[in-house]
Chain A
Amino acid sequence: MTELTFTLKINPQQRVDVSPLTPDNLNGKSLPDIAAIELQTGNRKIRVDELFAISGEDASTIVIKQASNKLDYLGKGNGSGEIIVEGDAGAYLGFQLKGGVIKVSGNVDAYAACELRNGEINIDGNAGDFLGAALPGNKKGMQGGVVIVKGNAGDRVGDHMRRGAILIEGNAGAYLGSRMTAGTIGVLGDVGALPGYAMKRGTLLLLKKPTNLTATFNDCGTHTLGFLPLLLKGFQGYNTQFGGLSDKIKRVRRYAGDMSGAGKGEILVAV
């Protein structure tokens, strides 16, 4: 069986909520049933076949071809299977994802992996602001799973993050890990201003020392931490450079904070 494929026919003028197009939701449905599903766009609904050419039948793997950054909520709440996005994706990619894998070959908009519960998201391009964050007003951001960004990420990555790992191979914007409750964020490139702002617990693992660290993070010295090789070895099953760092990062400088709050978080900078 070939994977269920949706090829975008038109460039949407408004944002489209494509959350119904998940393996969980489409499994067992016929092509006519899938074609008749209505998607919300602006203040109206459009049928799936108005927007996409549909082919294939195996709904456990869904491919979105010629994807656009107008396609929001891709993979929302999905629990199994694989979603492959060829092109860009809109906002809220993998919103409250419970399992399975999402792969995006292009860039994604804000709030990717928002309130992620479990599963894996791979983004080959860049990610927007609030990656792995909580919805505005909510207290729990990402609560499990792994997010890998090959490019750069925007501001406020991991805002209110509670569990899981975000691995950014490029640069990250300002306020990395803001209000973070727990979990791990790794960045290979540069980070913007004030990483760990109002961080309660959790770990920011950085390969480069931040240039603008808040005064409320205190230097705890340089250490060899036994958990680091274990943590990095745990990423070896994923498509990320972090898995190969277990033999390279031997020692880290530990900054504890944010002392303006609970102060139980840490920024580890490889030395």
Chain B
Amino acid sequence: MIINGVQIDQTFAEAFPMRATRVIITAQNHKWAHISAQAFTGFATSVIACGCEAGIERELDPSETPDGRPGVSAMIFAMGGKGLAKQLETRAGQCVLTSPTSALFAGLNEGDPIALGKNLRYFGDGFQISKRIAGKRYWRVPVMDGEFLAEETTGMVKAIGGGNFLVLAESQPQALTACEAAIEAMKQVPNVIMPFPGGVVRSGSKVGSKYKTLNASTNDAFCPTLKGQTKTELSPEIESVMEIVIDGLTEEDIKKSMRVGIQAVCDLGSANGIRRISAGNYGGKLGPFLFHLQEIMA
């Protein structure tokens, strides 16, 4: 399959089951909602070493938030429920509670409830106040700038992590420009996040390593500087490869996100140095969800 001169490889992205939740962070203005959300989703690029994957889903207008203030929705994914609950509580306590003017609400009502403000309330040292509003419990925790308002729980659902595609280009600037265009398009798709810095990862990994202590290592088959040194997947004209990783609530969400992302890359086309789209296919070692590129783009 070739779209605008870009070859779509006959391969698939391999993804794995995760647990996910969504929170809504509001603040006095969007600037501070973003600051809080960025801190909340920081150091959460990969479960390999971060314990979770997290990202900002989208900006919310005041009309979309529970307290009528500007907000941001963020999603957090982990390999299991306990890990997700732990990451959520730690991040909410250290990054949202501490952020000026912030408030924290559930972004998912379905699924299993996990603690949001339920334990953070103890920061109030006995001065915290519970309010049950329209069937939901909220906690008012007195803090130095006023009150931190947090919903007691949010919902945790089954989700999918590790959807991905690779952008193979003639140069590093061209690969990055294409990925930036893809991320802008993919940000419009709900229920997904791209957890790596700016949504793009330049150090895609393969499963396993020659070193026994590591469970992931550089994806040497796609490293352009190793073309003559390893069993490469790259043709001579490819000089740079970048990857976009997607976590989503459902298979359909990830497919939709990949479709718009790949299309945005292909819109730049071979005229802008984009040669191929491939994907992280680990031969079934990584997970049960397979996203075939050509099926998605058909």
Q: Please, how many angstroms separate the alpha-carbon atoms of A230 and B137 in the complex?
A: 11
| Given A230-B67, A230-B149, A163 and B138 contact (CB-CB distance below 8 Å) | no
A227 touches B132 (CB 8 A): no
Which residues from chain B contact A234 at a C-beta distance below 8 Å? 133-134
Among A201, A225, A230, A266, point to the contact of B133 (Cβ < 8 A).
A230
B67 touches A226 (CB 8 A): yes
A10 interface hit (Cβ, 8 Å): no
A225 touches B131 (CB 8 A): no
A203 interface hit (Cβ, 8 Å): yes
B127 touches A230 (CB 8 A): no
B67 touches A231 (CB 8 A): no
Instruction: Report the minimal beta-carbon distance from A99 to chain B, rounded to whole angstroms.
Output: 13
B68 interface hit (Cβ, 8 Å): yes
Give B131's nearest chain A residue, CB to CB. Answer: A227
B11 interface hit (Cβ, 8 Å): no
B296 interface hit (Cβ, 8 Å): no
Of residues 145 through 175 on chain B, the ones whose CB sits less than 8 Å from some CB of chain A are 146-147, 149
Q: Please, how many angstroms separate the alpha-carbon atoms of A26 and B132 in the complex?
A: 32
Of residues 191 through 235 on chain A, the ones whose CB sits less than 8 Å from some CB of chain B are 201, 203, 223-227, 229-231, 233-234
B66 touches A223 (CB 8 A): no
Which residues from chain A contact B255 at a C-beta distance below 8 Å? none
Q: Please, how many angstroms separate the alpha-carbon atoms of A213 and B286 in the complex?
A: 67
A15 interface hit (Cβ, 8 Å): no
Give B138's nearest chain A residue, CB to CB. Answer: A227
Contact with B along A255-267 (1 / 0, CB 8 A): 0000000001010
Give B146's nearest chain A residue, CB to CB. Answer: A223
B103 interface hit (Cβ, 8 Å): yes
| Given A201-B129, A264-B127, A266-B129, A226 and B149 contact (CB-CB distance below 8 Å) | yes
Contact with B along A23-60 (1 / 0, CB 8 A): 00000000000000000000000000000000000000
Contact with B along A220-255 (1 / 0, CB 8 A): 000111110111011001000000001000000000
B130 interface hit (Cβ, 8 Å): yes
Interface of A is mostly: mixed
| Given A226-B67, A226-B103, A227-B138, A184 and B131 contact (CB-CB distance below 8 Å) | yes
Q: Please, how many angstroms separate the alpha-carbon atoms of A184 and B147 in the complex?
A: 18
B147 touches A226 (CB 8 A): yes
Among B126, B130, B132, B146, point to the contact of A226 (Cβ < 8 A).
B146
B22 interface hit (Cβ, 8 Å): no
A227 touches B149 (CB 8 A): yes
Q: Please, how many angstroms separate the alpha-carbon atoms of A35 and B149 in the complex?
A: 53
Among A163, A164, A230, point to the contact of B66 (Cβ < 8 A).
A230
A231 touches B146 (CB 8 A): no
Give B102's nearest chain A residue, CB to CB. Answer: A226
A71 interface hit (Cβ, 8 Å): no
Give B68's nearest chain A residue, CB to CB. Answer: A229
Give A232's nearest chain B residue, CB to CB. Answer: B133
Which residues from chain B contact A149 at a C-beta distance below 8 Å? none
A182 interface hit (Cβ, 8 Å): yes
B146 touches A225 (CB 8 A): yes
Please give 18 more A-B residue pairs, beta carbons under 8 A apart, in addition to A163-B132, A227-B131, A230-B138.
A182-B130, A201-B129, A203-B129, A203-B131, A224-B146, A226-B67, A226-B69, A226-B147, A226-B149, A227-B67, A227-B140, A230-B66, A231-B133, A234-B133, A246-B68, A264-B126, A264-B127, A266-B129
19 pairs of residues in contact across A and B, judged by CB atoms under 8 Å: A203-B129, A203-B131, A223-B147, A224-B146, A226-B67, A226-B69, A226-B103, A226-B146, A227-B131, A227-B133, A227-B140, A229-B67, A230-B66, A230-B138, A230-B149, A231-B133, A234-B134, A264-B126, A266-B129
Interface positions of A (Cβ within 8 A of B): 163-164, 182, 184, 201, 203, 223-227, 229-231, 233-234, 237, 246, 264, 266
Interface positions of B (Cβ within 8 A of A): 66-69, 103, 126-127, 129-134, 138, 140, 146-147, 149
